[in-house]
Amino acid sequence: MPQIVVENLVKTFRVAERKPGLLGALAGAVHRRYRTVRALDGIGFAIEPGELVGYIGPNGAGKSTTVKSLAGILVPDSGRCEVMGRVPWKQRVDNVREMGVVFGQRTQLWWDLPVIESFELLRDIYRVDGKAYRANLDQLVALLDLPPLLDVPVRQLSLGQRMRCDLTAALLHSPKILYLDEPTIGLDAVSKLAVGTGGTHYPFRADGAWHIGPAACQELEFAADGRVGFGVEAHCASVANCI
């Protein structure tokens, strides 16, 4: 039975339009015009327990919108979306307990706190048993080479260092599902290798399903113009060879 099921998912956004220049800004303030952007246009896929799935495509294809829908952050306009039998945005608490997510553009760590204090706050939020927390933390710290970073405030970390810490934060509560939304964007080669190592070598539960980068995936889903499956084989082959 699939652990993640998406069928005919549709999500649209209203985007304000305005003409350039000061006059355009003034006109837009009085008579604002909008256009509708169809971020997801009936996408569909299913992921079995334990699968490693790469979800790839050009900018604006709807990848982040899909992940945010699966995480319960966004509510689609229509279609079916179930994660472990739950509707993510209706059963958010239960959904969040079973998933980990890393967004390349955002952090779930507290900006002014040392890294280790952010980890401890997340332990309390997820109500992780002390023994399990310590075991997970020790394993992840060793895997991602974090000892020099634990007492450093998050705001002082480089992008690569922060992404390694964000990946650790996403895994501390032993999630069954892990979503990685462009976790290596802007990273150098060494940092990309560290994040990739953490994502592909961490021992998930046997029933886990997760999204990672194409290089380690068993299956690729190609998104374009809000759809999945547009010339999948050809596009997946060409994109995978370029990554």
> What pLDDT, on the 0 to 100 scale, is given for residue 160?
86
pLDDT at res. 53: 82
Return the SS3 of 207. Answer: coil
User: What integer pLDDT is reported at residue 207 of this predicted model?
Assistant: 44
What pLDDT is stored for residue 162 in this prediction? Answer: 92
SS3 20: coil
The stretches in the chain having pLDDT less than 50 are 204-216, 230-243
Query: How high is the pLDDT of residue 220?
Result: 52
| Helices and strands in the chain: count of H runs, count of E runs | 8, 9
**Which neighbouring-strand residues pair with 47?**
4
Distant-in-sequence contacts of 156-159, Cβ < 8 A, 24+ apart = 157/115, 158/191, 159/186, 159/187, 159/191
Adjacency order of strands within the sheet including 227-228? 99-103, 177-181, 209-211, 52-56, 219-224, 227-228
Tell me the two tokens of residue 143: 């895997």
CB-based contact 79:42 (threshold 8 Å): yes
Distances (CA, A) of 10 to 41, 187, 236: 5, 32, 23
Distance CA 131, CA 137 (A): 10
- The residues, any chain, with a CB within 8 Å of residue 241's CB and separated by 6 or more, are none
pLDDT in tens, 25-47: 676 667 778 889 999 999 999 98
Q: Return the pLDDT at 239.
A: 39
pLDDT at 205 (0 to 100): 43
235 Rama class: left (phi>0) / alpha (psi -120 to 50) / beta: alpha
d(CA 185, CA 100): 18
Q: Residue 209 is encoded by which pair of tokens?
A: 């399903």
Distances from the Cα of 214 to the Cα of 64, 117, 159, 195, 199, angstroms: 16, 33, 21, 13, 12
Please give the Cα distance from 15 to 87 (Å, whole number).
27
